[in-house]
Amino acid sequence: MWARGEKIKVEQIAADVGQEIVIDQVLAVGNGAELKVGTPLVSGATVKATVVAHGRGEKVRIFKMRRRKHYQKRQGHRQNFTELQIAAISA
């Protein structure tokens, strides 16, 4: 679960740094022992967040090999992300 003031990294979002965005597809909202779980989404729940930065994650190395067949393949991947700071969560 996320909390107000927390920084999170999500899949890259097309938004400028400093822009405030609203996420309206919320799966669950809770406060202590009280928890609302959507089916599949919680209706009326929103999360307001501010875009802090854009970046690229750590490199993931992929190595494929077939034994005794002289086949080796090396590959790498760096996923783009957007860092968000949670401003408010409303149910």
- Is 34 part of any domain? yes
Give pLDDT < 50 ranges for the chain.
none
Tens digits of per-residue pLDDT, 79-88? Answer: 999 999 999 9
- Is 1 part of any domain? no
- Is 85 part of any domain? yes
How many domains, the chain?
A: 1
- Is 2 part of any domain? no
- Is 64 part of any domain? yes
pLDDT of residue 78: 98
pLDDT of residue 87: 95
- Is 18 part of any domain? yes
Q: What is the pTM of this model?
A: 0.79
- Is 76 part of any domain? yes
What is the separation of C-alpha 46 from the centre of its chain, rounded to a whole number of angstroms?
A: 15
The dihedral region occupied by 29, where left means phi > 0, alpha psi between -120 and 50, and beta the remainder, is beta
pLDDT of residue 41: 93
- Is 13 part of any domain? yes
Q: Can you give the residue range of the structural domain that contains 45?
A: 7-90
C-alpha angle with apex 59: 74 to 26, nearest 5 degrees? 125
